[in-house]
Amino acid sequence: MKDVAARAGVGLKTVSRVVNEEPGVTPDTVARVQAAIDALGFRRNDSARLLRTRRTASVGLVLEDLADPFYAPLSRAVEDVARANGALLFTGSSAEDPRREQELVLAFCARRVDGLIVVPAGDDHRYLIPEIEAGVATVFVDRPAGRIDADMVLTDNAGGTRDGVAHLIAHGHRRIGFIGDQPGIHTAAERLRGYREAMADAGLPIRPEWYSMGPTNPERVRAVLASLLSGPEPVTALFAGNNRVTVTAVRVLSHHPRPVALVGFDDFELADLLDPPVTVVAQDSPGLGRSAAQLLFRRLEGGADAAPERLELPARLIARGSGEIPPAP
């Protein structure tokens, strides 16, 4: 910029005015400065600019895994809102590791992002208190913040599961299994609660061997399913606590002698093409991202003092066939 000023024979401030299209510069001067800019290939350094203006026009997005298809539409929705607000997006994956989440978040804060959108991996976010006090707007999404009071946008996991299980009950099932993710994960616990509530609402007992929480790798899911489907009184229907469980369940059930009804939490591509097409409880993944980002920018535009909000988006039952299979006699 100094070089441009020298070449155009003007002061630094005038170059700054031209670059920022501020009014009050003679067309003649503008032309001279512009010529110098072009000749020197000058490109403003936004990092320096932002150091002075104290807004970085950037937000950090931390999610569980950039490669997880569930978070892809969420990221895209966040990006769209960020772009509409003139902000750039830092992204990173926590890989479900609280330490990595914290590292990423603090790295973003050290860059002085204006705001943060976090799918939490950990359950203690007190490390964020100094940042939030320093003015970093923060919205948690998909899972609640731990041990701090903060904005969050969640899916109604319990309600969605309740609807899904009630759907199975309405189709005549009494012995319904539930396979969920690790109980420490909030969404997993909420879904289990929904299962319990739906059964209780229908006056149905739950046997302890009907539900199981833990890692959702195919091996464990297969083992659990094998036990659910064996014995004198096997379950006649299964509620799969997430995407990965559903996929393994579909594989196993397609080779099972008796038809077993299935409802899965989370929609997935081609669910309607399988045989039978898979009934799911679908989350509004772009809606989560959009709502979180909109809330974030509202905070940034002066709504910083209002009390933290907690939004809960509904999940939607999509009946496709697998959830409408009647119990085997």
- Report the residue from 1, 50, 313, 318 that binds a copy of itself according to the rule CB under 8 A: 50
Tell me how many residues contact DNA (CB under 7 A).
Answer: 27
| Binding residues among 73-92 for a copy of itself as defined by CB under 8 A | 73, 75-76, 79, 83, 88-92
Residues 92 and 65: their CA atoms lie apart, in Å, by 8
3-state secondary structure of 278: coil
Does position 36 interact with DNA (CB under 7 A)? The reply is: no
Residue 279 binding result from a copy of itself, DNA, none, given CB thresholds of 5 to 8 Å by partner type: none
The helix or strand, by DSSP H or E, that contains position 104, with its residue range, turns out to be helix 98-110
- Report the residue from 93, 102, 236, 294 that binds a copy of itself according to the rule CB under 8 A: 93
Residue 26, CB half-sphere, CA atoms under 13 Å: how many? Answer: 4
Closest CA to 115 of 185, 175, 61, 189: 61
Residue 14 binding result from DNA, a copy of itself, none, given CB thresholds of 5 to 8 Å by partner type: DNA
Q: Give the Å distances, CA to CA, from 227 to 209, 224, 251.
A: 8, 5, 16
Residue 10 binding result from a copy of itself, DNA, none, given CB thresholds of 5 to 8 Å by partner type: DNA
Residues 220 and 163: their CA atoms lie apart, in Å, by 26
Residues 60 and 258: their CA atoms lie apart, in Å, by 49
| Closer to DNA by Cβ: residue 9 or 69 | 9
Find tokens 């299935």 and name the residue. 262
Query: Smallest distance, Å, CB 17 to DNA?
Result: 7
Query: Smallest distance, Å, CB 2 to a copy of itself?
Result: 15
Does position 134 interact with DNA (CB under 7 A)? The reply is: no
| Binding residues among 45-64 for DNA as defined by CB under 7 A | 45, 48-49, 51-54
Residue 259 binding result from a copy of itself, DNA, none, given CB thresholds of 5 to 8 Å by partner type: none
Count of C-beta atoms within a 10 Å radius of residue 297:
20
In the chain, DSSP assigns E strands to 58-63, 88-93, 115-118, 137-141, 151-155, 176-180, 211-213, 237-240, 261-265, 279-282, 310-313, 316-318
Instruction: Count the helices and strands in the chain (H runs, E runs).
Output: 12, 12
Structure tokens at 265: 């939490």
Residue 69 binding result from DNA, a copy of itself, none, given CB thresholds of 5 to 8 Å by partner type: a copy of itself
Residues that bind a copy of itself (CB under 8 A): 41, 43-48, 50-51, 56, 58, 65-69, 72-73, 75-76, 79, 83, 88-93, 106-112, 130-131, 133-134, 247, 250-251, 254, 268-270, 273-275, 286
Residues that bind DNA (CB under 7 A): 1, 9-14, 16-17, 19-20, 23-26, 28-29, 42-45, 48-49, 51-54
